[in-house]
Amino acid sequence: GAGVSQSPSNKVTEKGKDVELRCDPISGHTALYWYRQSLGQGLEFLIYFQGNSAPDKSGLPSDRFSAERTGGSVSTLTIQRTQQEDSAVYLCASSPTGTANTGELFFGEGSRLTVL
């Protein structure tokens, strides 16, 4: 697609439920990043993928958070047993590779998660 696509754009869930957030990066971008933006917390790095591997998952806040990427394309961020403090906007970004790799990140519109 033309840009990074994320779904759902909005998700309201009850505490304790599991949620899945999807990111479809720009075609051909091998690097993919997940960030979280909470009120008053700024943008917080969660995990980085290079292809299907995650060389840096240092930002995942707990073992309730996991992410995978398949086919070097779509990524899914899963939050198990959601808590109210998980409420945030989850942003995905991708970056090109090869000679086009300037290290520039392109962000999607985000998935707003509200845990009641």
114 contributes a contact to other proteins by CB under 8 A: no
User: What is the full DSSP assignment across 20-64?
Assistant: EEEEEPPTT--EEEEEEEETTTEEEEEEEEETTEEEE-TT--STT
Nearest to 74 by CA among 2, 15, 10, 7: 7
Identified binder of other proteins from the candidate list 82, 108, 113, 115, rule CB under 8 A: 108
In the window 32-61, what residues touch other proteins (CB under 8 A)? 33, 35, 42-43, 45, 48, 50, 55-56, 59
Q: Using the rule CB under 8 A, which residue among 77, 88, 91, 115 binds other proteins?
A: 91
Edge-first strand listing for the sheet containing 65-69: 5-7, 19-24, 75-79, 65-69
Segment near other proteins (CB under 8 A), from 14-22, 68-76, 77-85, 89-97?
Answer: 89-97
Interface residues toward other proteins, by CB under 8 A:
4, 31, 33, 35, 42-43, 45, 48, 50, 55-56, 59, 91, 93, 95, 101-110, 112
